Amino acid sequence: MGFVRRQVVTAALTANAIRPLPGFRAGIPAFFAGWLTGELAPHVLGLTVADAAAHATGSRRDWRGLALAGLSGAGLAYLVRQSRQAVTEAEDALTEGLGVDYVEQLDAKPTPAELATPWRQIANPFAFRRAARRAGVEVHRDIPFAPYGRRGLLDVYTSEVTPAAGAPVLLQVHGGGWTIGNKDQQGLPLMQHMAAKGWVCVAINYRLAPRDPWPAQIVDVKAAIAWIKDNIAAYGGDPSYVAITGGSAGGHLAALAAVTPNAPEFQPGFEAADTSVQAAVPYYGVYDVAGASGLRTAELMRDKFLAPVVFKKSPVADRDVFEEASPLLRVTADAPDFFVIHGSRDTLVDPGQARAFVAALRATSKRTVTYAELPGAQHAFDIFPSIRSQHLVRATDRFLHWHWNGWRRERLAAGAEAPRPVGQE
């Protein structure tokens, strides 16, 4: 019966990864049940096949368990194929958002190896920190940028190929529902990848709710941008070029920071500081904290979690506070270039929020807007290297290098001194 029980659990997890349990209340357990199964589908498939083979060669075969193992194997193989589609979905999104000739503006076109499934990297998905050290990535840890103890610290990622000056900068904002999380827990595959190519990457902490309610979180992100402008040259970074990224709550903060440059309401005591960014890549972000999109899921998030825990305000009496905090409602013609990424099966943040935000950007912004909605992807799919996350790391790399090269050309055309190119493998 142990074999049968294992196959029942595996089959249930696989089914939930393919089609997560619906509903607001079911969203959190559906995420935890489906996230690891979906991103580790090759590994779960291998274990299922091995378990079934060992049982089939034994003296007491249970055909119920073997049948379940067969169904799970088919479902897991489907998840693997779906994950591999991410390379096509991301490339189609970049082509649609940036133009069919965008690859001509890269330092080098992506090779077949860069577009292939990175089996070697995902074989042991939790060993990526050691791989980064082998790639020469160095982390300068726990640098103060705000007077809040541990919550006011940041890390700077550089590598042996980081230039002495003029490197583009990528700021990573962690997620965690504005209430948990740390700078060294999220965005690591992307930061390590970009640092190994010469970028200077910065990962920040920020104050967390409910101890420090909104807007402490966005104030700290703005303070970190101001710190970068003043200090990043010491690490080889170009303070005039900052791109921002983050996932979930970090995606919300990254998007909001991008569409509210120099907003005085989010810069108390440093109103004169430049907090503009040149590009934004939010992953599975929250864009509608006011419920303005009409999505029932957004209204429930606002009423059941954001209002009592993060904002500690009434969404009725203090509606303007929620509207000011919604990237969806802060889009202007001067918004920077965006690459918005979301999963089609995200049960924590409705992909409808991303679609509404992208529609608002495309209707208003003068800059490019790229949107990739990944088939079958759950929330937090990029925490560790997987088939899907590695394809999106490379797609984000292409977007950022495309943007960096275009920004340098614009600087040259305007008569300003352009930084030297940063290597792209």
Catalytic residue among 174, 379, 391, 401: 379
Given a contact cutoff of 8 angstroms between Cβ atoms, the answer to whether 298 and 288 are in contact is: yes
User: What's the rounded Cα separation, in Å, for the pair 31 and 16?
Assistant: 9
Main-chain phi, psi angles of 317, to 5 degrees:
-70, -30
Strands 153-159, 200-204: pairing kind: antiparallel
In 19-136, which residue ranges form alpha helices assigned H by DSSP? 27-39, 41-56, 63-84, 86-98, 112-115, 119-123, 128-134
Tokens of 300: 């429930």
Burial of 160 (0-12, 13-18, 19+ CB in 10 A): exposed
Interhelix angle 86-98/63-84, nearest 10 degrees: 20
**Three-class DSSP category at 277:** coil
Catalytic residue among 346, 350, 382, 397: 346
Given a contact cutoff of 8 angstroms between Cβ atoms, the answer to whether 279 and 304 are in contact is: no
Report how far Cα 207 is from the mean position of its chain's Cα atoms: 20
- Say whether 303 is catalytic: no
Closest CA to 397 of 176, 195, 179: 195
**Three-class DSSP category at 94:** helix
Would you give the DSSP letter of residue 302? Answer: I
Asked if residue 210 has a cis previous peptide bond (ω within 30° of 0), the answer is yes
Quick one: CA dihedral 385, 388, 391, 393, positive or negative? negative
Q: Which residues pair with 138 in a beta bridge?
A: 158
User: What is the residue-wise DSSP string for 146-188?
Assistant: SSSGGGGEEEEEEETT--SS-EEEEEEE--STTTS--TTSSSH
- Say whether 391 is catalytic: no
- Say whether 318 is catalytic: no
User: What's the rounded Cα separation, in Å, for the pair 88 and 372?
Assistant: 10
Closest CA to 348 of 387, 282, 300: 300
Enumerate the active-site residues.
Answer: 248, 346, 379
